[in-house]
């Protein structure tokens, strides 16, 4: 039991340490060797320190052997933590208990084999001091080179992220659309430079409109790339929406997306989707795919209700037959969809913002212009807790 507990604690420590070393795991070895050289030189100073503690009398070869061994041991830590797995770390930890014995044995063997004699103290101290200063200066030089190389790489990546951020703003700008019967507003705020949430609205030639929110699992650049694909695929699938019955428009789109997405994404990724077909006659049809609930503010009774269904997400399982339903609305009603990035914001006690708090914000500001209502929702979520995921809102007002 004691051995299992020790292994569990060591594994947990390795997991936390590996997380801190995640940057170094991504650095190619052709750049990492500069850091390894800096670490080697810095820790090799220990060999010269030992010589100084003995008064500078250790043979030069023995001093260099100790410096070489300690430097290699320190370099091995960098390699194991940045490249190798848990068993190698355990072996390295065990090795530390034998380092002094190995060093002493090597020094004794070299002294006997080569009949090494003590060095005059004054010369030995001068040698150790000079070697210490040289190793520290060289270590600093290698460290500066590594920082400069990584700085250039970081600058390049930052420029690429800025470019991706510009593409993100082009793909997911704030949405404002008005028809004869509906006003639509949507906004998406990524948690990083690039996000995976999507809000969009499209006018159809018949006077109907399509408005939808999609949320790619995860965030960052991979989710942003898939989000761009999803927007293109959705708009393409809606090209023939005019010739289809309103209640079938969105289910057909979801079926098509669910067939296309598995071929252009990583296996663990998927998308949730909430869509509305807003008719020129005032009708509302919706379809969901593993989405947060649709919140509806009923203007006549000043009450809130929500609609949710247990549909599968898109791109995860080969399911079909997504359903579309009619939603009864009246003049002044609001339809609000907020992604998990808002609903799952946690405060310091790990309590989620949740649907009920969102309802309170909507009820208190239901008559505000839609951009102001969206801003108040975002402000309430951010005041409640730190943003960790993309935050997206779609609001529809019935005119």
Domains along the sequence of the chain with CATH: 2-164 (no CATH), 172-398 (3.60.40.10)
- The residues with which 185 forms a beta bridge, in sequence order, are 176, 395
Burial 264-293 (b: 16+ CB within 10 A, else e): ebeeebbbbbbbbbbbeeebbbbbbbbbbb
According to the 3-state scheme, what is the secondary structure of the chain? Answer: CHHHHHHHHHHHHHHHHHHHCHHHHHCCHHHHHHHHHHHHHHHHHHHHHHHHHCCCCCCHHHHHHHHHHHHHHHHHHHHHHHHCCHHHHHHHHHHHCCHHHHHHHHHHHHHHHCCCCCCCHHHHHHHHHHHHHHHHHHHHHHHHHHHHHHHHHHHHHHHHHHHHHHHHHHHCCCEEEECCCEEEEEEEECCCCCCCEEEEEEECCCCCEEEEEEEECCCCHHHHHHHHHHHHHHHHHCCCHHHCCHHHHHHHHHHHHHHHHHHCCCCCCCEEEEEEEECCCCCEEEEEECCCCEEEEECCCCEEEEECCCCCCECCCCCCCCCEEEECCCCCCEEEEECHHHHCCECCCCCECHHHHHHHHHHHCCCCCHHHHHHHHHHHHHHHCCCCCCEEEEEEEEC
Q: Which of 2-11, 23-32, 108-117 has the lowest mean pLDDT?
A: 2-11
Block residue for tokens 């010269």: 48
- The residues with which 176 forms a beta bridge, in sequence order, are 185
Choice between 275 and 242, residue whose per-residue pLDDT is larger: 275
For 281-336, the pLDDT digits (tens) are 999 999 998 888 999 999 998 999 988 877 788 888 777 778 888 999 999 999 99
Checking if the pLDDT of 182 tops 90, the result is yes
Structure-block tokens of residue 193: 């430079």
Choice between 255 and 191, residue whose per-residue pLDDT is larger: 255
CB 284 within 8 Å of CB 212: no
Mean pLDDT, the chain, whole residue set: 85
For 349-398, the pLDDT digits (tens) are 889 999 999 999 999 999 999 999 999 999 999 999 988 888 999 999 99
CB 234 within 8 Å of CB 224: no
Burial 56-79 (b: 16+ CB within 10 A, else e): bebbeebbbbbbebbbebbbbbbb
Assign residue 306 a region: left if phi > 0, alpha if psi is -120 to 50, beta otherwise? beta
**Confidence band for 165, pLDDT divided at 50, 70 and 90:** low
Cα–Cα distance for residue pair 256/110, rounded to 1 Å? 74
Mean pLDDT on 253-277: 86
pLDDT at residue 51, rounded to an integer: 92
For 78-108, the pLDDT digits (tens) are 888 888 877 888 898 899 999 999 988 998 9
Distance between first and last Cα of the chain: 69
Choice between 222 and 307, residue whose per-residue pLDDT is larger: 307
For 43-67, the pLDDT digits (tens) are 999 999 999 999 999 999 999 999 9
Checking if the pLDDT of 4 tops 80, the result is no
Burial 295-317 (b: 16+ CB within 10 A, else e): bbbbbeeeebeeeeeebbbbbbe
pLDDT at residue 15, rounded to an integer: 55
pLDDT at residue 334, rounded to an integer: 95
pTM of the shown model: 0.66
Indicate the length of the chain as a whole number.
Answer: 399
Choice between 266 and 289, residue whose per-residue pLDDT is larger: 289
Nearest to 311 by CA among 343, 292, 331, 289: 289
For 134-158, the pLDDT digits (tens) are 999 999 999 999 888 887 877 776 7
pLDDT at residue 67, rounded to an integer: 95
pLDDT at residue 216, rounded to an integer: 85
pLDDT at residue 27, rounded to an integer: 76
Mean pLDDT on 4-33: 64
Mean pLDDT on 184-196: 80
**Confidence band for 11, pLDDT divided at 50, 70 and 90:** low
Strand bridging mode 284-289 / 324-327: antiparallel
């Amino acid at each position: 039991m004691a051995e299992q507990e020790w292994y569990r604690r060591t594994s947990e420590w390795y997991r936390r340490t590996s997380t801190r070393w995640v940057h170094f795991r991504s650095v190619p070895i052709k750049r990492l060797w500069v850091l390894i050289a800096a670490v080697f030189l810095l820790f090799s100073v220990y060999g010269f320190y030992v010589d100084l503690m003995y008064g500078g009398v250790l043979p030069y070869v023995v001093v260099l052997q100790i410096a070489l061994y300690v430097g290699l041991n320190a370099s091995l830590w960098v390699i194991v933590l940045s490249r190798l797995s848990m068993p190698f770390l355990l072996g390295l930890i065990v090795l530390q208990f034998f380092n002094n014995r190995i060093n002493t044995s090597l020094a004794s063997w070299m002294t006997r084999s080569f009949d090494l004699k003590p060095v005059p103290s004054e010369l030995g101290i001068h040698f150790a001091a000079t070697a210490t200063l040289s190793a520290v200066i060289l270590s600093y030089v290698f460290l500066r080179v590594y920082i400069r190389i990584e700085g250039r790489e970081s600058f390049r990546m930052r420029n690429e992220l800025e470019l991706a951020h510009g593409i993100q703003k082009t793909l997911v700008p704030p949405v404002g659309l008005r028809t004869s019967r509906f006003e639509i507003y949507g906004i998406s705020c990524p948690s990083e430079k690039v996000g995976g949430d999507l809000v969009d609205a499209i006018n159809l030639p018949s006077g109907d409109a399509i408005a939808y929110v999609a949320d790619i699992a995860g965030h960052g650049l991979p989710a942003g790339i898939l989000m761009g694909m999803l927007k293109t695929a959705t708009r393409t699938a809606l090209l023939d929406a005019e010739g289809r019955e309103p209640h079938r428009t969105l289910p057909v789109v979801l079926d098509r997306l669910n067939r296309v997405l598995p071929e252009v994404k990583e296996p663990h990724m998927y998308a949730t989707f909430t869509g509305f077909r807003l008719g020129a006659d005032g009708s509302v049809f919706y379809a969901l795919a593993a989405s947060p609930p649709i919140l509806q503010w009923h203007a006549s009774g000043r009450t809130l209700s929500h609609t949710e269904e247990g549909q599968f997400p898109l791109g995860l399982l080969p399911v079909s037959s997504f359903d579309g339903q009619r939603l009864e609305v009246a003049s002044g009603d609001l339809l609000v969809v907020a992604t998990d990035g808002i609903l799952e914001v946690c405060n310091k006690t790990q309590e989620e913002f949740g649907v009920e708090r969102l309802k309170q914000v909507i009820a208190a500001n239901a008559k505000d212009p839609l951009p102001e209502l969206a801003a108040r929702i975002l402000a309430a979520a951010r005041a409640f807790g730190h943003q960790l995921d993309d935050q997206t809102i779609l609001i529809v007002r019935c005119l």
